[in-house]
């Protein structure tokens, strides 16, 4: 039986979408991209600014950038993701640093925790990719204690990664009814979904620099190990693969700030800290 939303349109099959997303993020080797973003986790762990020993949940943690950063600051950390392979990478990193964390497979749209279980909730470029965005936002708020904080790093729609996903969507359209993940990188949407339960919302635009030898090696790396790009190329015939590569190279050149022939791409994101009422 087909379900319909309040607008009378067919509702997305979120379970099927998440199965495909799981396969996409589990393909390639996202952890090799993830470790490049470690500084984002460190700055977010500073921004959440909770009392010593606070309980913090990392949602859609990937290979654990912010999880590890939080554990280094002596928070009690639970690191969650729905891709078990990525959690295993985080577990190995924690073991190498002798850090104590709890790792648990979990769906960001149905977190397996009681209401108001955590002093803080964090996510770096993770929860923004959930298909049912309003539901995952509700879950972040639900598990956070009153007076606690939700801290996120989210790519903006105008920035490099937001524009990259726009290009991917032109070649491999997203399922009907699923909104762009870059909504999480807009002040208006964050205020809309979190504002009624927030005592304060602090939003700081930031830049992460992606560094590669040149535009072609940038594309080759993302094609090989960054799940969504990897899967997009696999879904296309050779001619369209060539067209996608050309579009990506043009995008890289548009955002490239290097003057020495290498690729130094400024990728904008929002650092968001929400204090729950």
Q: What is the mean pLDDT of residues 71-98?
A: 96
Give the per-residue pLDDT at 25. Answer: 75
Structural domain including 137 reads 14-165+174-209+269-276
pLDDT of the residue at 175: 83
What six digits make up the tokens of 69? 């950063």
- Is residue 229 a part of any domain in this protein? no
| Whether residue 5 has pLDDT greater than 50 | no
* 3-class SS letters over the chain: CCCECCCCCECCCHHHHHHHHHHHHHCCCHHHHHHHHHHHHHHHHHHHCCCCCCEEEECCCCCCHHHHHHHHCCCEEEEEECCHHHHHHHHHHHHHCCCCCEEEECCCCCCCCCCCCEEEEEEECCHHHCCCHHHHHHHHHHHEEEEEEEEEEEECCCCHHHHHHHHHHHHCCCCCCCCCHHHHHCHHHHHHHHHHHEEEEEEEEEEEEEEECCHHHHHHHHHHHCHHHHHHHHCCCHHHHHHHHHHHHHHHHHHECCCCCCEEEEEEEEEEEEEEC
User: Is the pLDDT confidence value at 3 over 70?
Assistant: no
Asked whether the beta carbons of 139 and 113 are under 8 A apart, the reply is no
* pLDDT surpasses 80 at 4: no
Average pLDDT over residues 79-88: 94
What pLDDT is stored for residue 10 in this prediction? 60
Q: Among positive and negative, which fits the CA dihedral 118, 192, 185, 246? A: positive
Q: Do the domain assignments include residue 65?
A: yes
Structure tokens at 236: 């296309």
Quote the CA–CA distance of 213 and 261 in Å, as a whole number: 8
Tell me if 258 is assigned to some domain: no
Report the candidate in 165, 184, 275 with the shortest Cα–Cα distance to residue 226.
165
- Is residue 88, in this structure, part of any structural domain at all? yes
CA angle 250, 204, 275 (to 5 degrees): 135
Q: What is the mean pLDDT of residues 49-77?
A: 97
What whole-number percentage of the chain has pLDDT above 90?
Answer: 84
Q: Is 38 a member of any domain? A: yes
Under 8 Å between Cβ of 122 and 97: no
pLDDT at 98 over 60: yes
pLDDT for 112 equals 98
pLDDT in the model for residue 130: 95
**CA gap 121, 146 in Å, rounded:** 12
Q: What is the pLDDT of residues 103-147, one digit of tens each?
A: 999 999 999 999 999 999 999 999 999 999 999 999 999 999 999
Residue 199: predicted pLDDT: 98
Nearest CA to 15 out of 110, 126, 146 is that of: 110
Q: What is the pLDDT of residues 263-277, one digit of tens each?
A: 999 999 999 999 999
- CATH value at residue 64: 3.40.50.150
> What's the pLDDT band for 86 if we cut at 50, 70, 90?
very high
* Burial per residue of 247-274, b for 16 or more beta-carbon CB atoms within 10 angstroms, e otherwise: bbbebbeebbeeeeeebebebbbbbbbb
Tell me what the mean pLDDT of segment 251-271 comes to.
Answer: 97
Tell me what pLDDT residue 1 has.
31
At residue 100, the pLDDT reads 96
Write down the mean pLDDT value for the chain. Answer: 93
**Residues whose CB falls within 8 Å of the CB of residue 118, separated by 6 or more in sequence, listed in order:** 55, 56, 57, 78, 143, 144, 145, 148
Query: Which tens digits make up the pLDDT trace of 146-202?
Result: 999 999 999 999 999 999 999 999 999 988 888 999 999 999 999 999 999 999 999
Residues 80-96 have a mean pLDDT of: 95
Question: Is 67 contained in some domain?
Answer: yes
- Tell me what pLDDT residue 32 has: 87
Q: Could you report the per-residue pLDDT of 10-40, keeping only the tens digit for each?
A: 678 888 877 777 777 777 788 888 899 999 9
Residue 197 confidence (pLDDT): 97
Domain count of the fold of the chain: 1
In a domain, 216, yes or no: no
161 lies in some domain: yes
Report, as an integer, the average pLDDT of 224-234: 92
Q: So what's the pLDDT on residue 2?
A: 31
């Amino acid at each position: 039986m087909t379900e319909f939303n309040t607008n009378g349109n067919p509702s997305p099959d979120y379970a099927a979408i998440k199965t495909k997303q799981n396969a996409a993020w589990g393909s390639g080797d996202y952890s090799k991209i993830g470790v490049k973003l470690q500084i984002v986790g460190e700055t977010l762990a500073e921004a959440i600014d909770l009392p010593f020993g606070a309980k913090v949940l990392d949602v859609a943690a990937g290979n654990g950038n912010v999880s590890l950063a939080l554990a280094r600051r002596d928070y009690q950390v639970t690191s969650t993701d729905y891709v078990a392979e990525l959690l295993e990478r985080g577990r190995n990193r924690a073991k190498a640093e002798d850090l104590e964390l709890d790792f648990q497979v979990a769906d960001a749209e149905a977190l397996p925790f009681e209401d108001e279980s955590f002093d803080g909730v964090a996510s770096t470029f993770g929860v923004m990719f959930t298909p049912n965005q309003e539901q995952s936002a509700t879950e972040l708020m639900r598990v956070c204690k009153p007076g606690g904080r939700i801290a996120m790093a989210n790519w903006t729609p105008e920035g490099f990664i937001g524009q990259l996903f726009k290009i991917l969507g032109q070649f491999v359209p997203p399922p009907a009814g699923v909104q762009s993940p870059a909504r999480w990188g807009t002040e208006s949407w964050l205020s809309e979904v979190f504002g009624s339960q927030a005592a304060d919302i602090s939003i700081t635009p930031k830049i992460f620099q992606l560094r590669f030898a040149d535009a072609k090696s940038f594309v080759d790396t993302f094609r090989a190990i960054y799940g969504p790009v990897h899967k997009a190329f696999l879904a296309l015939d050779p001619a369209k693969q060539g067209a996608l590569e050309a579009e990506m190279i043009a995008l890289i050149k548009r955002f490239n700030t290097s003057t020495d022939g290498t690729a130094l791409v400024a990728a904008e994101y929002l650092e968001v800290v929400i204090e729950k009422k």
